[in-house]
């Protein structure tokens, strides 16, 4: 199945503040999502049933790329800082 990648406004804002080297890492992960969106760990959400996260390290901090799968679309929601313990996740998901 062919999936469409749709970045949210929040994701685009966060991506602009990242240096080119780390941006390349994120782009590679997005390519892996296109191939198989079920590849990464599923997380729980009140609003959506298919929310996933990719774990990686940017500038020394644990970061998560959160995406929602609404077939045939993959919506890139945000880059979530692990220090906040997913407290802001539902806020970002409500903006979709």
In angstroms, what CA-CA distances link 83 with 5, 69, 92? 27, 25, 16
How many domains does the chain divide into? 1
Instruction: Say what the pLDDT of residue 85 is.
Output: 67
Mean pLDDT for all residues in the chain = 89
The torsion region of residue 79 among left (phi > 0), alpha (psi -120 to 50) and beta comes to beta
Mean pLDDT of 52-76: 90
> Taking 70 as the threshold, does the pLDDT of residue 12 lie above it?
yes
Which of 89, 94, 7 lies closest to 44 in space, CA to CA? Answer: 89
> Taking 90 as the threshold, does the pLDDT of residue 4 lie above it?
yes
**What tokens appear for 15 in the block?**
């991506």
**What tokens appear for 20 in the block?**
């080119």
Q: How confident is the model at residue 26 (pLDDT cuts 50, 70, 90)?
A: very high
pLDDT, greater one: 77 or 94: 77
pTM summary value: 0.89
Domain that holds residue 32: 4-94
CATH code, domain carrying 87? 3.30.2310.20
């Amino acid at each position: 199945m062919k999936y469409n990648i749709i970045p949210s406004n929040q994701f685009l804002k966060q991506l602009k503040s990242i240096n080119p080297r780390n941006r390349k890492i994120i782009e590679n992960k997005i390519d892996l999502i296109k191939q198989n969106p079920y590849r990464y760990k599923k997380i729980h959400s009140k609003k959506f049933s298919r929310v996933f996260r990719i774990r990686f390290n940017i500038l020394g901090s644990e970061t998560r790329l959160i995406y929602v799968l609404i077939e045939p679309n993959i919506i890139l929601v945000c880059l979530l800082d692990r220090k906040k313990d997913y407290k802001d996740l539902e806020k970002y998901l409500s903006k979709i």
